Structure 1
Amino acid sequence: MRKFVVTKTFGPVLGLVAGLVLSGLLGVAASTLGAAPAAAQNRGGTYSTQELVRTGHQFFGTVSGGLATVIEQAVSRYGQPNGYILGEEGSGAVIGGLRYGEGQINTRDRTPRKVFWQGPSIGWDFGGEGSRTMMLVYNLPSVDALFQRFGGVDGSAYFIGGFGMTALVADRIYVVPVRSGVGLRLGVNLGYLKFTPQATWNPF
């Protein structure tokens, strides 16, 4: 296993990224630092490993060779999610970067709903990337609870067979993005993702 990270470049705002990311991370630091690596407590109906792998194979298509291993790693560490997001995103970085994405969240008790995410990062990180993304969501009491900032360290991600997995947390809700795409890059960065019900260019 190797480590990798992904994040989207906006040169004119690099000066703002550092300050705003650090400010935003203060808002999620307590829940992030207090997050235990043990399996999360799930609420509502959950999804089995087999269901997630089957859905992921359909979503990622022919590039899904390492997907099962990554999902098994996520489930063994965090348990079975009670929601998941399928979507696409674009990202890049030169020290500071930005990421934008959109997709659809699925839960057992609600019809699928459109969601958007965006977020900045800072750190030793260079490159660009576009990817399909499957996000496993844990402890989600309602879809509206997703609409906040989730913090984490992208440099702690697993990289297996072309897929990467990292973990973000806020208010004991875990979001575990599983990504596959073009232009994966090496680096370590700090950042967060902000989920919103509508598209926005503001990542902060």
Structure 2
Amino acid sequence: MRLLPTRHLSAARLMIAAAMAIAGFVTTMRPAEAAGEYSIQEVVDAGHGFFGETSGALAKVIEQAFETHGLPNGYILGQEGSGALIAGLTYGEGMLYTKNVGQHEVFWQGPSLGIDYGGNGTRTMMLVYDLPAVDTLYARYGGVSGSAYVVAGVGMTVLKSRDVVLVPIRTGIGARLGINVGYLKLTRAPTWNPF
């Protein structure tokens, strides 16, 4: 049996060590990167760029959403307008951002009923949880919200359709006070029909 020279053993050991280091790096990737989910820092950075000056309050609301629901696998940035006097309507449009399947345009509309008064023109960020495919996003999302929106304020609600959870985070001009029960319908194209 012939033995390898020492210098060949050192090179072999070096190659094995490098392979183990690469394997260790791949297996220690953060779970968010591996699953196509967004970290809190990525969402806060996107929100700061989108909302601008309300960054302190926004960071606190996003932190609360992460504590309650975990890491989202998508988010929507958009604008909406709504108004109410007992019954109201909401219309919006934006862009869905995902790590795995890119960007997709999305529109939403919905009615609300309840003790409600006022109007809103808002920028909206929606965190999207447990989205298995983009087509699943286009559905009706129901929820109950009891929020007060004030100038330069930030509010958060939770909506659900099947297993997909949306967490709209809103800030904007105008005031809308009240408790309302309604839903949002997300669609691929704009429509005036909120039902």
Q: Using structure 2 for the length normalisation, give the TM-score.
A: 0.79
Deviates more, 1:180-189 or 1:163-172: 180-189
Q: Quickly say closer, same or farther: Cα 1:159–1:122, change in 2 above 3 A.
A: closer
Q: Which amino acid aligns with 2:111?
A: P
1:131·1:182 contact (CA, 8 Å) conserved in 2?
yes
| Seq. identity, % | 58
Deviations 1:36-61 (A, max 9, x none): xxxxxxx9411011111011000001
Cα offset, 1:131, TM superposition: 0.4
Question: Which structure has the greater CA radius of gyration?
Answer: 2
What is residue 94 of structure 1 aligned with on the other side? 85
Deviations 1:163-200 (CA, angstroms, capped at 9, x unpaired): 10000001111000000001122200100000000000
Determine which of 42, 50, 56 is the counterpart of 1:59. Answer: 50
Q: Secondary structure at the match of 2:53?
A: helix
Q: Which amino acid aligns with 2:154?
A: F
Gaps of 5+ in 1: 1-42
TM-superposed CA distance for 1:108, in Å, is 0.9
Residue 16 of structure 1 aligns with which residue? none
Q: 1:134–1:168: structure 2 CA closer, same or farther, 3 Å change rule?
A: same
Long gaps (5+) in structure 2: 1-33
* C-alpha contact (below 8 Å) 1:44/1:108 kept by paired residues: no
**Residue 104 of structure 1: which of 95, 99, 104 is its match?**
95
1:166–1:177: 8 Å Cα contact kept in structure 2? yes
Query: Partner residue of 1:125?
Result: 116
Matches of 1:121 and 1:61 in 2, distance apart? Answer: 28
Q: Is the 8 A contact 2:148 2:176 kept in 1?
A: no
Partner of 1:197: 188
CA distance in 1, matches of 2:111, 2:43: 28
- How far apart are the structure 2 equivalents of 1:178 and 1:112? 19
Query: Which has the higher relative contact order, 1 or 2, with Cα contacts under 8 A spaced 6 or more apart?
Result: 1
1:16-44 Cα distance to aligned partner (Å, 9 max, x none): xxxxxxxxxxxxxxxxxxxxxxxxxxx94
Cα pair 1:127 1:185 within 8 Å, conserved: yes
How far is the alpha carbon of 1:159 from its aligned partner? 6.9
Equivalent AA in structure 2 for residue 99 of structure 1: T
Runs of 4+ in 1 over 6 A off after TM superposition: 158-161
Q: 1-side partners of 2:72 and 2:175: how far apart?
A: 26
